Structure 1
Amino acid sequence: MAGDEKRFKSAFDSLHALAYFAPEVDQALTGIGLRPGRMPYFASRSAAMGAVGPEVVAATFYNFNPEVVARVIPRAWTLATPEQVLTARLEGVDQALTRLLGEDEIKSDHVVEAAELAREATAGCAAEGRPLYAAHAGLDWPEPPHLVLWHALTLLREHRGDGHIAALLLNGLSGVEALVTHVATGAGFTVDSAKLTRGWSDEQWDAAQQRLRDRGLLDGEGALTGEGVAVRDRVEAATETAARGPWDHLGAEKLARLEELGRELTRRVVAAGAFPKGVFAQRRS
């Protein structure tokens, strides 16, 4: 099933990721006391692990500057409990999906079918070595089909993400180095947007580039060398291999149907204005 992880990411990632961009989710999280800005993102994505400290959040999110994480965690847990954060996030996702898809669509047969297939796929996920996935897998399943779908996609996304971090570690890339090499592929972030959204200073970025030059992964202009390209290729191959469990479990026929359903739902939420322009080129390092 080579390529299944990438195809699924293309078909479904937006349906999970809208939680980080939809105003309904942000309003729900700030409504329980979280401060506007980075706090809702860091708190909502890490809340399944409990009131963990900034070191755990930075380790599991990986390519964010730990100094940025420490500005909002653990303060977030003094403003709202992890349980309150998780409840608010799900309420916001409910409102956002209802707006983007419509009340009739979220109850439709193909949303129900997509939810059932995505949930079935999660039975092929493995928790070992995957802290963000394992934390979310310990949460109760919601009942409405559109929220079952969103929760299943969250599990699949965090399962994949944890495996991606393992691949980066095996290939000797720190969080900022992973981001620098991702930018150098030309397939995602610009340098300025990477620094801004992940919180790295010019000095930290330049130091990471120099370390990568010293290893022969970047040239003098900041482009990937042949070895740099090979490292990124190994990272992507290992990530896909580590993410195969759900697709092997689901099987080719059901996976194809899930992709078909996902692409249509993705088209609808994107057409409804769920995301800022170009945001998906920036999602993974």
Structure 2
Amino acid sequence: MGEASRVTGRFRGTFDVLHSLTYFAPETEAALTDAGLRPGRMCYFAGRAAPMGAVGPGVVAATFYNFNPELVARYIPRAWTLATPDRIIEARYEAVDATLTRLLGKDVLDSEEVVEAAALAREATAGCEVGGRTLFAGHADLDWPSEPHLALWHAITLLREHRGDGHIAALLLNGLDGLSALVTHTATGKGFLPAAAKLSRGWSDEQWDGAAATLREKGLLDAEGGLTEAGTTLRERIEAATNESSTGPWAHLGEEKTRRLHELCGPLSRRAVEAGAFPANVFSPGR
């Protein structure tokens, strides 16, 4: 269990890069607009939510958590009138294929290392619990891609959404709504920069400032917008709970195989980042 606990804490840097890079790739918007969606945020909301079916804006806002529900409602359910969830899922995989090919190269994607990583990551997902994890469950119902690099991406997506659903539960138990969670997360210096967070999640300066004021009243933020000792303790407690709720896949995989998967995915993630997978002005240096 020791290795399982450790790997959950470094999930983002090692594994999540290989999933989240698709949100910044031009290939994603190109494929989804070709399927019928409108450019911009509609592609993100519909692309990520499609495995749950043609759900309403409330479901999307609840499962994505830190987005302004008013923003979500601008694009959902209209997206489903432009393209079916099945077509969107198909287009999403087309985009993943094109993106990974550009960033990593076909030789890497066809390598024995990627085949091995895909098999190990898929094995890890067998340790994921479905109960109470809505966004994970939607993705878990999808068929597995036959190509190893797409199977690897799908497996990491499952692990990511499984962890994310657990993170939302930890936030709820610790009294942070979506906006407060976002404000305190940016204050850690390890996530989105505030300007990027407000823009991408659809919160106005007034809404952001209001949440920050409430957090200051609770003693979680200081006058400069940084975390107080109590705020730091709260975020650490949330991360610890998130990690604890996400150990299932790694306990199932076992220490030796978990270590091997980390060894295989680390270089892939670094290569993708070095190839320009993420814009420089989105994340804080602590990411």
What TM-score does the superposition give when structure 2 sets the normalisation length?
0.95
| 1:254 correspondence with 2:257 | yes
Give 1:102's match in structure 2, choosing from 78, 82, 105: 105
- Residue 263 of structure 2 aligns with an amino acid whose one-letter code is E
Structure 2 unmatched ranges of 5 or more: none
Q: Distance in 2 between matches of 1:9 and 1:200?
A: 24
Which stretches of structure 1, 4 residues or longer, exceed 3 Å deviation after superposition? 278-284
Q: Distance in 1 between matches of 2:100 and 2:193?
A: 29
Tell me how many residue pairs correspond in the alignment: 284
Give the secondary-structure state (helix, strand or coil) at the position aligned to 2:106: coil
Alpha-carbon contact 2:19-2:153 (below 8 Å) kept: yes
Q: Distance in 2 between matches of 1:126 and 1:159?
A: 8
- Residue 71 of structure 2 aligns with an amino acid whose one-letter code is V
Alpha-carbon contact 2:189-2:285 (below 8 Å) kept: no
Give 1:141's match in structure 2, choosing from 139, 144, 158: 144
Q: Distance in 2 between matches of 1:221 and 1:272?
A: 35
Q: CA deviation at 1:282?
A: 9.2
Give 1:271's match in structure 2, choosing from 269, 274, 277: 274
Q: Which residue does the alignment assign to 1:240?
A: 243
Q: Which residue does the alignment assign to 1:115?
A: 118
Q: CA deviation at 1:106?
A: 1.1
Alpha-carbon contact 2:196-2:282 (below 8 Å) kept: no
Q: CA deviation at 1:32?
A: 1.1
Q: Which residue does the alignment assign to 2:170?
A: 167
- Residue 97 of structure 1 aligns with an amino acid whose one-letter code is L
Q: CA deviation at 1:214?
A: 2.2
What TM-score does the superposition give when structure 1 sets the normalisation length?
0.96
Alpha-carbon contact 2:56-2:77 (below 8 Å) kept: yes
Q: CA deviation at 1:278?
A: 5.4
Q: Which residue does the alignment assign to 1:129?
A: 132
Q: Which residue does the alignment assign to 2:50?
A: 47
Q: CA deviation at 1:221?
A: 2.6
What is the alpha-carbon root mean square deviation over aligned residues?
1.6
Shift in alpha-carbon separation, 1:95–1:189, aligned structure 2, 3 A: closer
Q: Distance in 2 between matches of 1:238 and 1:64?
A: 22
Structure 1 unmatched ranges of 5 or more: none
Q: Distance in 2 between matches of 1:241 and 1:278?
A: 31
Measured against aligned partners, the alpha-carbon deviations of 1:240-272 in whole angstroms (never above 9, x if no partner) come to: 000100010111111111001101111222222
